[in-house]
Amino acid sequence: MTSAAPSPHDLELLSITKNFDSFTAVDSINLKVGRGEFVAIMGPSGCGKTTLLRILAGLETASSGQLYIRGKDVSDVPVNLRSTRLVWQNYALFPHLDVAGNIAFGLTLKAHDKAIVAGKVKAMADLVGLSDLMGRKISQLSGGQKQRVALARALVTEPDILLLDEPLSALDAHLRIRMQGELRRIQKQLGMAFIYVTHNQVEAFSMADRVVVMNKGHIEQIDAPEDMYARPKTEFVARFVGTNNLFPGRIQEIGHGKAIVHCAHGQVQVSTDDPPPVGTGVFVVVQADKLKPAPTGVAGENRLEATVRGREYAGSHNIYLLDLVDGTEVKMTLPQVLPLEINQPTTIWFSPAHAALIRGAA
Amino acid sequence: MTTVETSATKPMRTPNDSPLKIWFLAPLAIWLTVFFLLPLIFLLWIGFWRVENFQSVPDFSLGNYADIFASFFSKSRYGLALIQSLWVAITTAFFATILSYMVALSIAFAVPARWQRLALLIAIAPFWSSYVLRLYSWQTILSRNGVINSVLKQFGLADYRIDLIYTQIATRIGLIHYLAPILIVILYVSILAIDRVLIEAARELGCTRWQAFTRVILPLSRFGLMTAASFAIIVSLGDALSGNLLGGGAGTSIIGKLPTYASMIMSDYSSSTNLPRTSALATILIVVMVLALAAGFVAADRARRRTS
């Protein structure tokens, strides 16, 4: 792609909206993807992430908004002339062509030099580890091999941006981890921007430079994985990402980098540099592994009286479900060496520094 | 593998298995025997009979075949008629398949999903009327003073009158009209089996609409096309009606005025009392059909293996 003024962004979305009849699948999305950035778009099914990806690929036309690839407006460029390539969820490989034929497909559509195409196909097969399978039929490949062919077929055309639609969802857990590593390696090696759509948190957080969480057609939060995990900004993200406890309450008092929140089960102190004004409805968010059981806590920590209701065994640790005095459910992650007894009252603590505030509780 | 018990014990049978299930083969076996094997064997057998005093006598004589092949390309011109038949059948199959493929494509890709069944039903509507009736309709359309020529005359183009009736072109028109509904169904089903995602994937990889057709849809239709074409060839080879009613028995063609082989069998049957000879003629046609079918099978199988 040639552009008059080189843009610092590979991809730029300006209030992209897609309506299907009366239903808004994608609701004024704004997003900028930097050069060679790996961005994961995550959300529950029906959140609009796949529709958004199809708009980027040119398979759907946005109802309104602008789309720029490397600074060039491509909103009206038809699918076959876009400089993006999509890796399909179920690979969509051509059954009438062998592995080499599938990889070469995109290169043979225009006038081409056979030797150059063969060279590119071979180099790409080496990159994704398919060199020994070039003559195989698609039906003779395993899931992981098909995945590699799909990737090679897209990458060999040297797109500006690679779009991936749940590419690993059909693979078993073991292979998925291996492919995650490999995707990241290839992405780094090519320095190509990847837009990776998934409903799988682990995939998104393991690979991406930045994660976009979508819900009901709009973006809830864009952040680096660690920041998203540590500081969810909306109730939806707090519930969707990680294992968080949310206590609805109202700001009672502010000062000294702290806020005191009045919750149904009592007062909670939260460290914050930017407290909302007194009276604001908020959620106090505490990660499940930041809760500690002890008869006595450190001075200044928040104390909760609870009853242990159930235990979920997860190998190295247990996830306990507890009820607070007012009936609020709390999840707590503890290592196996710290067992709790079911149906016994206990006291749990958490530091104000480990709690975060989200505006929005009624 | 080496245990002694396995050879002594009965094969494992699940509780839901019944020894009576073999009887489910009966309808198929009876059908094949009564309507296929017995008539076929009877036909082949009579071909070796001989005629004495205007009576067919059971025998095992190759006389009929010797008689037929002695004048295959000369007096009786059976061989030329066979070539005529093959030529008409192959060209008919070619055009019928292409026309039907275009109709099937437009139903599958241009008609909204909810209207496709109706469109298919309308496309195959001619199948509901009698074949002979359709041939007579074509006669009135194609004849010297028929619909086409009357219209030309109305526009003062009487000099450009076209004589289609009693040519093998007319034979083909009748056959194509007869075959198209069946071919449309065969081809529509095979197009429907193509995963639409593959077409989107092709477009996404940079195919123009035309390239998506030539690179993906056409190769993946190959099995359906081969099946349709071989079906069309077999039916055209065996059909005598269109050749008799529209081709006028011996229709004009690039080979000359010649009947199709099936027409010849029919006139042979009605004009002579030599049933064994007619059977031998029919046997020759069956052999040609089996060869054509085998060729079609091989081609279709190759197409299928390439796409699976």
What ipTM was assigned to the predicted interfaces of this complex? 0.86
Q: What does each C-alpha distance from A19 to A12, A76, A242, B112 come to in angstroms? A: 20, 17, 31, 20
A223 has which bridge partners? A211
For chain A, say whether B202 makes contact (Cβ under 8 Å). Answer: yes
- Taking residue B22's Cβ as centre, other Cβ atoms within 10 Å add up to 8
Which positions ≥6 away from A227 have C-beta within 8 Å? none
CA diameter of chain A: 77
- Taking residue B58's Cβ as centre, other Cβ atoms within 10 Å add up to 11
Q: Which residue has the tokens 């968080």?
A: A244
Which positions ≥6 away from B82 have C-beta within 8 Å? B261, B284, B285, B288
| pLDDT tens series, chain A, 362 aa | 444 557 889 999 999 999 999 999 999 999 999 999 999 999 999 999 999 999 999 999 999 999 999 999 999 999 999 999 999 999 999 999 999 999 999 999 999 999 999 999 999 999 999 999 999 999 999 999 999 999 999 999 999 999 999 999 888 889 899 999 999 999 999 999 999 999 999 999 999 999 999 999 999 999 999 999 888 999 999 999 988 999 999 999 998 789 999 998 889 999 988 888 999 999 999 999 999 888 777 778 899 999 999 999 988 899 999 999 888 899 999 998 888 889 999 999 999 999 989 987 55
Helix (H, G, I), strand (E, B) or coil at B188: helix
Of A82, A86, A109, Cβ closest to residue B211: A109
For chain A, say whether B304 makes contact (Cβ under 8 Å). Answer: no
Cα B244 to Cα B180: distance, rounded to the nearest angstrom = 20
Chain-chain contact of B211 with A59 (C-beta, under 8 angstroms): no
Indicate the Cα dihedral angle B239, B240, B243, B244, nearest 10°: -160
Cα B153 to Cα B199: distance, rounded to the nearest angstrom = 48
From chain B residues 153-192, the ones with a CB under 8 A of any chain A CB are none
Residue A232 · residue A221 · CB < 8 Å:
yes
For chain A, say whether B215 makes contact (Cβ under 8 Å). Answer: yes
- CA of A90: which chain B residue's CA is closest? B197
For chain A, say whether B197 makes contact (Cβ under 8 Å). Answer: yes
User: Considering only CA atoms, which of B240, B288, B289, B300 is closest in space to residue B264?
Assistant: B240
For chain B, say whether A294 makes contact (Cβ under 8 Å). Answer: no
Between A208 and B3, the more confident residue is A208
Q: Quote the DSSP letter at residue B14.
A: -
Indicate the Cα dihedral angle A197, A202, A204, A206, nearest 10°: -140
Chain-chain contact of B198 with A94 (C-beta, under 8 angstroms): yes
Chain-chain contact of A80 with B308 (C-beta, under 8 angstroms): no
Chain-chain contact of A59 with B204 (C-beta, under 8 angstroms): yes
For chain A, say whether B226 makes contact (Cβ under 8 Å). Answer: no
Q: B77-307 in CATH: which number?
A: 1.10.3720.10
Residue A210 confidence (pLDDT): 97
pLDDT (average), residues B267-291: 91
Residue B307 confidence (pLDDT): 64
Which alpha helices (DSSP H) does chain A contain, by range? 49-57, 99-104, 114-128, 143-155, 173-190, 201-207, 225-230, 235-240
How sure is the predictor about B271, in pLDDT bands with cuts at 50, 70 and 90? confident
Cα A159 to Cα A144: distance, rounded to the nearest angstrom = 22
Cα A205 to Cα A201: distance, rounded to the nearest angstrom = 6
Helix (H) or strand (E) holding A23: strand A23-34
| Chain A residues near residue B195 by CB distance under 8 angstroms | 92
User: Considering only CA atoms, which of B121, B117, B123 is closest in space to residue B103?
Assistant: B123
Q: What does each C-alpha distance from A71 to A12, A91, A190, A222 come to in angstroms? A: 8, 29, 20, 21
Residues in chain A: 362
Residue A160 · residue A69 · CB < 8 Å:
yes
Domain boundaries, chain B: 77-307
- A44 HSE (CA, 13 A, CB side): 8
- CA of B211: which chain A residue's CA is closest? A109
| Chain A residues near residue B201 by CB distance under 8 angstroms | 86, 88, 92, 94
| Chain A residues near residue B206 by CB distance under 8 angstroms | 80-81, 106, 109-110, 157
Residue B1 confidence (pLDDT): 45
A209 CA to chain B: closest CA distance, Å? 26
Residue B96 confidence (pLDDT): 98
Take residue B40 and report the two structure tokens written for it. 């076929």
Helix (H) or strand (E) holding A212: strand A210-215
Chain-chain contact of B195 with A153 (C-beta, under 8 angstroms): no
Take residue A361 and report the two structure tokens written for it. 């509780």
Cα A50 to Cα A53: distance, rounded to the nearest angstrom = 5
B79 CA to chain A: closest CA distance, Å? 40
Q: What does each C-alpha distance from A327 to A118, A289, A307, A322 come to in angstroms? A: 67, 20, 10, 9
| Chain A residues near residue B205 by CB distance under 8 angstroms | 80, 85, 105-106, 109, 153-154, 157
Cα B23 to Cα B176: distance, rounded to the nearest angstrom = 41
For chain A, say whether B204 makes contact (Cβ under 8 Å). Answer: yes
Residue B43 · residue B282 · CB < 8 Å:
yes
Take residue A254 and report the two structure tokens written for it. 């502010």
Of B201, B208, B211, Cβ closest to residue A92: B201
Chain-chain contact of A95 with B308 (C-beta, under 8 angstroms): yes
B113 CA to chain A: closest CA distance, Å? 18
Q: What are phi and psi of B176, to 5 degrees?
A: -65, -45
Q: What are phi and psi of B260, to 5 degrees?
A: -80, 165
Take residue A252 and report the two structure tokens written for it. 């009672």
Chain-chain contact of B204 with A105 (C-beta, under 8 angstroms): no
Give the amino acid at B196. R
For chain A, say whether B302 makes contact (Cβ under 8 Å). Answer: no
- Taking residue A280's Cβ as centre, other Cβ atoms within 10 Å add up to 17
Q: What percent of chain B has pLDDT over 70?
A: 95
Chain-chain contact of A80 with B307 (C-beta, under 8 angstroms): no
Q: Which residue has the tokens 């962004």?
A: A9
Q: What does each C-alpha distance from B64 to B55, B56, B72, B75, B253 come to in angstroms? A: 15, 12, 12, 15, 29
How sure is the predictor about B43, in pLDDT bands with cuts at 50, 70 and 90? very high
Point out the least confidently predicted range of A137-141, B21-25, B119-123, B188-192: B21-25
> pTM to 2 decimals?
0.85
Cα A362 to Cα B19: distance, rounded to the nearest angstrom = 71
Q: Is the dihedral of CA B67, B68, B71, B75 positive or negative?
A: positive
Chain-chain contact of B219 with A96 (C-beta, under 8 angstroms): yes
Rounded to a whole number, what is the distance in angstroms from the first to the last CA of chain A? 49
Of B195, B205, B306, Cβ closest to residue A106: B205
Residue A109 confidence (pLDDT): 95
Cα A154 to Cα A135: distance, rounded to the nearest angstrom = 18
How sure is the predictor about B77, in pLDDT bands with cuts at 50, 70 and 90? confident
Take residue A70 and report the two structure tokens written for it. 């490397």
Residues in chain B: 308
Cα A199 to Cα A222: distance, rounded to the nearest angstrom = 15
How sure is the predictor about B308, in pLDDT bands with cuts at 50, 70 and 90? low
User: Considering only CA atoms, which of B209, B213, B198 is closest in space to residue A81?
Assistant: B209
Cα A189 to Cα B206: distance, rounded to the nearest angstrom = 24
Residue B8 confidence (pLDDT): 56
Residue B119 confidence (pLDDT): 96
- Taking residue B287's Cβ as centre, other Cβ atoms within 10 Å add up to 10
DSSP A256-275: TTEEEEEETTEEEEEE-SSP
pLDDT (average), residues B235-260: 90
How sure is the predictor about B135, in pLDDT bands with cuts at 50, 70 and 90? very high
Chain-chain contact of B205 with A85 (C-beta, under 8 angstroms): yes
For chain A, say whether B208 makes contact (Cβ under 8 Å). Answer: yes
Chain-chain contact of A109 with B198 (C-beta, under 8 angstroms): no
A195 Ramachandran zone, left/alpha/beta (phi>0; psi -120 to 50): beta
- Beta strand extents in B44-83 (DSSP E only): 50-52, 55-57
Cα B272 to Cα B264: distance, rounded to the nearest angstrom = 12
| Chain A residues near residue B307 by CB distance under 8 angstroms | 95-96
From chain A residues 50-89, the ones with a CB under 8 A of any chain B CB are 57-59, 79-82, 85-86, 88
